[in-house]
Amino acid sequence: MERKLKFTKANTAAVKGIAIIFLILYHGFSIKSRLYGYPVSFWPLSETTAMAICRVMVQCVGIFAFLSVYGLTLSMKAQYQDYGFTGHEATLFVLKRYVKLVFSFTIPFLFCMGVTYLTHTSRYSDGFSINLINAGMDFLGLSHLFGTQMQINTWWYLSLEVLLIFFMPFLVRFYKRYGWLMVFMFLLVGSFMLEKHVHLTKYLFVAPLAVCFADQNVLERLKGFRIVKNRFLNKILKLILCTGILYVLCKMFNMKWGTDHFEFVLNGTIPVLIVYMSYEFVIEIPGIRQILEFIGKHSANIFYIHTFIRAVWCKEFTYSLGHAAVIWLFILLSSLAISVMLGFVQKLIHFDQFSAWLTKRILGFADRNL
């Protein structure tokens, strides 16, 4: 008898590990200007081919968004039977998740702000009072939503996370009423009514897909599906089929015609396909799984920190390393080392206990007064 399949938290961490690897490759090598004029070798690939591949890796954004909504859906499903929550309960759920996001950002935020201050590399350019507001908006994950100046542009993703958290109650209620029809509604609205190439909207197609996948165990059902009875042959056929589909979608994504007409659907389908392929073919390989899980557990901190290393604090040293693989490894390992150090500091000062205590107080106040 085969074991029952389950997309676990460990699986989620491993997929996040893949996504953060994609993120560093995208930010480091997707366009010529990101090399800052340094001669970088991409051997054995040509520069054009390597950059085309790295450009597609921007789909890491959709992967992270999909996993976030997937996890939030499972939390709501476990907490509220048949998604039957009141407005008050939905408010507390959203507030709890938002506070958790802010606290997870606190230590790396303070570290990055401290280092930029000590090294005189702050990106804020206004006066003290305005910069204080800018820093506050960065800390709360609201900078990109309100258009205030950010310390580093890659922190825009926090605003997308905030948007997804606040819209979760509406999303699952919409799903409860319309089921899979919600996916097609989002597709129509996103393709024809939303402004194109806007960060906070162009990745939203993953949200309804994530809700449906989480509620109906689609990842597990796809992994358990058999094209043929022979297990090995079944795996090979699924790999060939998925690779072919991914190749076509990525080719479309790298064409101006493709992004002009199908950006919204591509930014939804490519990340979901990568998540499934990672689950089916990659993250259960012994050795690889443990490495990816370890990287994935530090993925948030690596995301917060890595751009400072490659573009602010150590730009000259990073790109003077010469080869893309060496540069990528340096960015990953240095970000990971800082994340491990921050984790040690976090334990040393009992930050998790403090944040749990403060979260309880905030939710208690909200429960009594909202």
Query: How would DSSP label each residue in 65-118?
Result: HHHHHHHHHHHHHHHSGGG---HHHHHHHHHHHHHHHHHHHHHHHHHHHHHHHH
Q: Say if residue 1's pLDDT is above 60.
A: no
Contact between residue 266 and residue 249 where contact means Cβ atoms under 8 Å apart: yes
- Mean pLDDT confidence for 76-98: 92
Tokens matching residue 58: 């921007």
Tokens matching residue 261: 């007409």
Q: What is the pLDDT of residue 339?
A: 97
- Mean pLDDT confidence for 212-239: 94
Enumerate the H helices of the chain as residue ranges. Answer: 9-29, 47-56, 60-79, 87-118, 128-139, 143-146, 157-178, 181-192, 199-202, 206-215, 218-224, 231-253, 256-277, 288-297, 299-308, 315-319, 324-348, 351-369
Q: What is the pLDDT of residue 3?
A: 57
Contact between residue 59 and residue 267 where contact means Cβ atoms under 8 Å apart: yes
Q: What is the pLDDT of residue 81?
A: 85
- Mean pLDDT confidence for 101-120: 95
Span 329-344, pLDDT tens digits: 999 999 999 999 999 9
- The residue count of the chain comes to 370
Q: Say if residue 158's pLDDT is above 50.
A: yes
Q: What is the pLDDT of residue 303?
A: 96
Q: What is the pLDDT of residue 279?
A: 96
Q: What is the pLDDT of residue 113?
A: 95
Average pLDDT of the residues of the chain:
93
Global pTM value: 0.94
Span 263-307, pLDDT tens digits: 999 999 999 999 999 999 999 899 999 999 999 999 999 999 999
Q: Say if residue 54's pLDDT is above 90.
A: yes
Span 198-207, pLDDT tens digits: 788 889 999 9
Q: Say if residue 309's pLDDT is above 70.
A: yes
Q: What is the pLDDT of residue 2?
A: 47
Span 16-35, pLDDT tens digits: 999 999 999 999 999 999 99
Contact between residue 30 and residue 56 where contact means Cβ atoms under 8 Å apart: no
Q: What percent of the chain has pLDDT above 70?
A: 99
**193 vs 262, which has greater pLDDT?**
262
Tokens matching residue 354: 């403090």
Q: Say if residue 197's pLDDT is above 80.
A: no
